[in-house]
Structure 1
Amino acid sequence: MLPQSLLALVGGLSLALAAPTCKKRISNGDNGGNGGNGGDGGGKDDPFSPVSNVKGLAFNRFVQVWMENKDYEDAVKNKDFAELAKEGLLLTNFYALTHPSMPNYMGAAGGDTFGLDNDENLSVPANISTIADMFDTKQISWGEYQEDMPHVGFQDEDYQNDGEDDYVRKHNPLIMYESVTKDATRLRQIKNFKHLDDDLQQKRLPQFSFITPNMTNDAHDTELEEAAGWVTGFLKNLLQNEYFSTDTLVMLTFDENDNTDIGNQVYTLLLGGAVPQEMRGQTDDTFYTHYSTIASLAANWGLPSLGRWDCGANLLGLVAQKTGYVNWKVENTKKLMLSETNEGPLSREDGGHFSGEWPAPLTEAQCSAGHGILPVVQKTWSGHKPTFNYLSPVPHDSKNDINIGVSYSRTLKGTQESGITK
């Protein structure tokens, strides 16, 4: 049985944090939505493809494609990736968040893993904010495209075709959050590859997309060579489309590495029309994590932070150049073990770093993105002390001695600054 949250909100509001809930099994014929029509007037089974054109500092569209479970050293030697890297910027010091897969996807949408140390079919309560809330502050269109998901807003654990797991829920970040699944319109923005093709042809791609290939094409159930060949062809076709590529930044990355005994560095490549010509074929050795992606999206479009690990995360260099933010140099990454999960309510109670309370975010900080904290986060968490040092560029857990003793420094306006995780 999952724990009840011990955290009560100020003033006894109805927003008191709910316990995480196990998602019910949903039949393949059930959309799983809450019924009714979305805000655009469409039915709950119809895909919703909002468009917008909010200018960004470094890019106007962001597309990330996630692959699965391969070590950096293997991926960087792959001939297909090596050829693709000639057209992009290789990030040589990019890290995933933990193991197994699901908490990495969860963290990429919510800025925290909330202690998740498993792939169980769990949901995050509706009053935990996500990147969707960030985007909605400026009506920036967003969407997900999940290969082989049977229909819009599908919430079941998996979908099989010919006896294989083609689509799995654990690789779908926003479907884990009830702030999305309990909103009929938002749920209809989680679509499949048929809808990706339709949106591309109709020129109605969102400004933010999260793309997950199926379990064969993402390398989860296949060798790296097969998956790399597939995704290279997939991306080359997209990048040849002028509508898709213009002012677009594509991030090709992996959810996690394969070897859990090393630090969890993952292959990550930036592509697309937004990558300056002088950066193509080059490398960037700045320390990044999946949380850096959230921070960079906020900085690019002038959005508030979630107040979690995105707040202190380094910005992608091509974004930092535009904002003037000075990234931290993490000096001893060999001490990193981003293979363990910080404390939280989604940890296993037997052997995990379980806590009965949801981690409290920052409510007052400019963050690396420079635009403060999301107002709904400030309202929900007012008066609560942050659970972790979310201003650090390195995720860590002092109580459980996870990633402690990692030092970082930078020079800001002629003054040397330094810190250490402790």
Structure 2
Amino acid sequence: MFTKQSLVTLLGGLSLALAQTSSEEYPSLAEIRAAQATVQPYSPVSNVQGLAFNRFVNIWLENTDFDVAADNEHLAELAKKGLLLKNFWAVTHPSEPNYCASAGGDTFGMDNDDFHQIPANVSTIADLFDTKNIAWGEYQEAIPYPGYQGYRYPETGANDYVRKHNPLILFDSVTQDALRLRQIKNFSSFYDDLEHRRLPQYMFITPNMTNDGHDTNITVSGAWTWRFLTELLENDYFTNDTLIMLTFDETDTYEIDNNVFTFLLGGAVPKNLRGTQDDTFYSHYSVIASLSANWGLPSLGRWDCGANLFSWLAEKTGYVNYEVDTSNLYMNQTHWGPLSDDDYSEYYAGWPVPATEASCSAGHGILSTVKQTYKNLTATFNYTTPFPYDSRSGNNVGVKYSRTLKNGKVESGISQ
């Protein structure tokens, strides 16, 4: 005879079993159809109060130079409603390592858009959120079912959904957890979660390859963004206490600096900052650091550790951001590592060791799992700087940075 608890356990196990989907690069159509019929999305909710915002929405478009995006009428009009981050930088080229960096705080040497499965002992932002049970989710337009791990969909013909634009699907610590997998969903789930008021506190939103501009242009991606956001901005449930960031994965031109058009919207943007611009140096790593500072979360101990925080959030925490001399900064390459194809970076079999002792810019130390995993090992890079650099390859070397603390003390450095 089943007890109530045993029934709950059985049903829970059944739902997880159904979510164990293929981890193949190109699963068969039969596997895809079977998963579509059985795998259900999972939509956890939470209400952990933050210092500056209670929900963060991360929306990425593709491969556009700053000036081209700034000249788009739709994006320019939306930026006027919020705060333009004039000095926001992608961290490398091509696309996938930027998405990887947004979730793992590092590129691990990735210089390609290949099919990657990053080992489960590498922590991500999902692990940071779990320390305080902050609900998170990804919404990937055209993904065929929750947690689909294939390289693309459909597998032939024109591009639509692609794995390389899905940050957390790259990490085994997510894909080997059936419950986490079901938090990576499509746009139908987004609108269903919106209607039923079960949106997570952190979400990453990726349009398909047409709407994000990758296979089209800024006219298409700007128009999509306008249609997607204007209605949502009128929805109090979505907008109140929410910080929405619209950015690009990288510039289209590799030979120029990787400064990408970025703005913040939503009810969490202070009224006195709306319609203005912020010249503080930020990168994709600043987002992880700002999330950590906002909710009192630890750092991954990677390039998020020293990254600047969103300026008004930094003021709330007492942290002083660095000024970075970008005249000699490009952020167009990444450091050596195991995910390199020896193209834009150098292949090296060893996985970079994160910092384990620093307090980091968010001020809450390093994730305990990271400290345990890499105990007594020396950090591979100087993860406490406000931008990534690599002395071995010379990438981003010779860049000056400084800040003046509230006691008048000046701290400065140069990457070398």
The answer to whether the superposition gives a TM-score over 0.5 is yes
Distance in 2 separating the partners of 1:313 and 1:407: 15
Change in 2 beyond 3 A, CA 1:53/1:350: closer
Query: Of 186, 195, 205, which residue of structure 2 is paired with 1:201?
Result: 195
1:378 aligns with 2:371: yes
Q: What amino acid maps onto 1:237 in structure 2?
A: E
User: What residue is the counterpart of 2:27 in the other structure?
Assistant: 26
Contact 1:44 1:184 in 2 (8 A): no
1:403 aligns with 2:404: no
1:225-304 matches, cutoff 5 A = 225-304=219-298
Change in 2 beyond 3 A, CA 1:87/1:28: farther
Q: What amino acid maps onto 1:408 in structure 2?
A: Y
User: What residue is the counterpart of 2:209 in the other structure?
Assistant: 215
1:337 aligns with 2:330: yes
- Once the two structures are superposed, residues 207-254 of structure 1 have per-residue CA deviations (whole angstroms, 9 ceiling, x without a partner) of 000000000000101111121011112011111110000100000000
Structure 1 residue 77: Cα displacement: 1.6
Distance in 2 separating the partners of 1:23 and 1:91: 39
SS at match of 2:341: coil
Query: Of 40, 46, 49, which residue of structure 2 is paired with 1:46?
Result: 40
Change in 2 beyond 3 A, CA 1:179/1:237: same
Distance in 2 separating the partners of 1:231 and 1:48: 26
Q: What amino acid maps onto 1:395 in structure 2?
A: P
User: What residue is the counterpart of 2:105 in the other structure?
Assistant: 111
Structure 1 residue 367: Cα displacement: 0.2
Contact 1:31 1:153 in 2 (8 A): no
Change in 2 beyond 3 A, CA 1:90/1:163: same
Distance in 2 separating the partners of 1:112 and 1:300: 21
1:168 aligns with 2:169: no
Query: Of 361, 369, 382, which residue of structure 2 is paired with 1:389?
Result: 382
- Once the two structures are superposed, residues 365-406 of structure 1 have per-residue CA deviations (whole angstroms, 9 ceiling, x without a partner) of 110000000000000000110000000001100111000010
Change in 2 beyond 3 A, CA 1:70/1:192: same
Change in 2 beyond 3 A, CA 1:32/1:321: farther
Query: Of 318, 332, 348, which residue of structure 2 is paired with 1:324?
Result: 318
TM-score (normalizing by structure 1): 0.90
1:346 aligns with 2:346: no
User: What residue is the counterpart of 2:348 in the other structure?
Assistant: 355
Aligned residues: 392
TM-score (normalizing by structure 2): 0.91
Distance in 1 separating the partners of 2:60 and 2:352: 26
1:63-82 matches, cutoff 5 A = 63-82=57-76
Change in 2 beyond 3 A, CA 1:401/1:137: same
Could you tell which deviates more after superposition, 158-167 or 270-279?
Answer: 158-167
SS at match of 1:164: coil
Distance in 1 separating the partners of 2:341 and 2:155: 31
Query: Cα RMSD between the aligned structures?
Result: 1.8
Q: Hey, which of these two has a bigger chunk of helix by percent?
A: 2
Contact 1:27 1:156 in 2 (8 A): no
Distance in 1 separating the partners of 2:201 and 2:32: 25
Distance in 2 separating the partners of 1:231 and 1:109: 22
Distance in 2 separating the partners of 1:350 and 1:230: 33
Contact 1:26 1:32 in 2 (8 A): no
Q: What amino acid maps onto 2:400 in structure 1?
A: S
Q: What amino acid maps onto 2:373 in structure 1?
A: T
Please list every run of 5 or more consecutive structure 1 residues that lacks an aligned counterpart in the other structure. Answer: 1-21, 36-42
Please list every run of 5 or more consecutive structure 2 residues that lacks an aligned counterpart in the other structure. Answer: 1-22
SS at match of 2:139: strand
